Structure 1
């Protein structure tokens, strides 16, 4: 099979690593890709993920049997729509179906319309109206930019003054058009986790869970980021909670999206809060999480390609049941100093591509090669150090031992990834 993978981050590096292991993959092309993927695939760095027309032309040119879309920006631009029109199987939803992620207002209205459990909310475009609406809620206040903001468009404000300042920043253009509307939600108390499902437009098959760490610094302090680390499996996902989430959230979502004329194909990422009333939706993503994808790919036992292809072709009934290895995989994100607000680019990284042994993989997320061959930082989240262990403690030990061997003064990382799994429950 000729396979085109779209994206350039850690999520896509993990997918490329896994897809390249498949005996079905005779040719793998990644557009644009990153230096870490060069050992697994052909890179086409001249493409941008938002160039839906160009990427569709590339898929036609290489006679792709399957296109796997990594980032949400490509979905929002309608890449899946163009590929579907050309008869090329695409793992990833259409722009209409991807609104579950690309518009929080759409997603919340969908959930409310179909009685799928989530927090109460309101949608606002006017600063004064949004500030006045805070009276309907109690602290802490949850304020979200409506559109795509690279995982940074959520603020949890401890008091009303801070919430009003966040409203001013978002509606004042902090996230551009993505913040032209804000969603204010009731705060949900509980523990959050990420549950994944593979979907073919008519049905969904669960694909494991993970827990992300959104805050920049140890102890869940600092600003929200796109994710500073993850681990899988997550203890929050008890068998009972997973069954409830499948019955109350995942299956109704896929069924109702199809009924509304937007059949959902690809992976559905349900960010869930485990509350005293059961699981409730925090958010949906229309793609694998980053860094959750990295830990899932390392845990997956078997070939990923038949699963991706079955979703893209709209028939999961003949696909193998996803199986995961016992044990735990942990991912620690190494980010450039200044992330998430003003990450410093260009600092040299040494030792990232050495052999760390069979239990450790380093996925590139935001790197580039200089003309002299040096590997340098080229983004906010730069490297993902992932390790497998029989339990969380062993996986953590292996991940942080590998990090200690990487020489990068220009970066930082959290030292407490996986802390919830080690805390008494």
Structure 2
């Protein structure tokens, strides 16, 4: 099987790495790819958001399967273009990708499916903002209704901060979603979905804020770990049965069945799981940790999902132990990152590239905010943390920063539900 992966981040590097371990995969291609991916796959400078360009490349490399990593191409309908060309594609249609592309659409689907989520209200007129804010609090959750790469969310007890963020979004012409605050630890559950067939992967926990102790602004994700020693298997079963299956069934009923990876972000409160958000693709950085433990051939799972035969494939098998991913970020991230700094140590096993480039002299340099994802594995979570941070200690990036507490609360048994 020849596979074309679309995207350029550490998530795509993790997918390419997993595909390289699958003996049934005979060719791996990536567009546009990155410096690390180019060591495992042939890369092409193609616009990932152009259905025509992706289809042309898929035909050129004679791909049997196209795997679309990022959300923007999915929301723009690239998967539709690939399928229309008669090529199997892992990733939802544009109609189904609205589960991430429009939070209002996602809320409507959840309401119809009877899925627990936060109370919400859309504000699209600045004149209505203050009255709407008065109906929320004392902790305000303010979101961009569209795609925001994980950084369009402000959670604050300061009404003025909430108002300023909402006003800024409205000024840019973006509708604002106000939500009630969901208490409890958060869980990311990836589920392969083929219509009404759903197959869960390992649950993970992301660390969104930039600083230790969950301080500072939200980011695209500073690290993650899997599995979750504090999360009972019964809760995972409840998420699948009470959240994912009803949503998948509702999408089928609406004529936009989901095919691909449905990412459920949930808060586990006293009343059980409640949905914070849905994404229509593998999440970053959780993917880097989850795929590090996958023992089954990933090509078979992705191809079966793409071709409507997921119900005939054996459930995924996992390596024993745990995995931790820590993101090494550029100076000033999540603000405007400093770029062009030389990186040393990025060739280590378990180091996945995201915001990197390679100069003519061969030096690897920073080229984005989240520069590298460093993956550690171990017999348990503590061992996986040690492995990840040992690798980080061997990597040098001027001005680079990372959190030192990824997975630490779970190791210290401080997470309770």
The normalised TM-score by structure 2 is 0.97
- Could you tell me which residue of structure 2 aligns to residue 357 of structure 1? none
Pairing of 1:14-413 with structure 2 (within 5 A): 14-44=14-44, 46-173=45-172, 180-354=174-348, 361-413=350-402
Alpha-carbon distance in 2 for matches of 1:94, 1:236: 35
The aligned length equals: 414
The alpha-carbon deviation at position 316 of structure 1 amounts to 0.8
SS in 1 for 2:147: coil
Deviations 1:250-302 (A, max 9, x none): 11111110110001010110001101111010000111110100111101012
Alpha-carbon distance in 1 for matches of 2:129, 2:95: 27
Alpha-carbon distance in 2 for matches of 1:106, 1:375: 41
The alpha-carbon deviation at position 2 of structure 1 amounts to 1.6
CA RMSD of aligned residues (A): 1.1
The alpha-carbon deviation at position 161 of structure 1 amounts to 1.6
SS in 2 for 1:317: helix
SS in 2 for 1:253: helix
Alpha-carbon distance in 1 for matches of 2:352, 2:190: 21
Whether contact under 8 Å (2:112, 2:250) holds in the other structure is: no
The alpha-carbon deviation at position 410 of structure 1 amounts to 2.8
The alpha-carbon deviation at position 382 of structure 1 amounts to 0.5
Whether contact under 8 Å (2:194, 2:258) holds in the other structure is: yes
Alpha-carbon distance in 2 for matches of 1:237, 1:363: 27
SS in 2 for 1:409: coil
SS in 2 for 1:411: coil
SS in 2 for 1:208: strand
Alpha-carbon distance in 2 for matches of 1:126, 1:113: 26
1:414 aligns with 2:416: no
Whether contact under 8 Å (1:306, 1:320) holds in the other structure is: no
Whether contact under 8 Å (2:54, 2:82) holds in the other structure is: no
Structure 1: any 5+ residue segments left out of the alignment? 355-359
Deviations 1:293-330 (A, max 9, x none): 01111010121000000000012122121111111100
The alpha-carbon deviation at position 119 of structure 1 amounts to 0.7
Deviation >3 Å, runs of 4+: none
Alpha-carbon distance in 1 for matches of 2:230, 2:248: 23
Alpha-carbon distance in 2 for matches of 1:90, 1:53: 14
Alpha-carbon distance in 1 for matches of 2:73, 2:160: 36
Alpha-carbon distance in 2 for matches of 1:416, 1:148: 28
Alpha-carbon distance in 2 for matches of 1:151, 1:52: 24
Whether contact under 8 Å (1:80, 1:93) holds in the other structure is: yes
The normalised TM-score by structure 1 is 0.95
Structure 2: any 5+ residue segments left out of the alignment? none
Deviations 1:184-237 (A, max 9, x none): 001011110101110112311111110000000111001100000000012343
Whether contact under 8 Å (1:346, 1:377) holds in the other structure is: yes
Alpha-carbon distance in 1 for matches of 2:161, 2:352: 37
Whether contact under 8 Å (1:124, 1:130) holds in the other structure is: yes
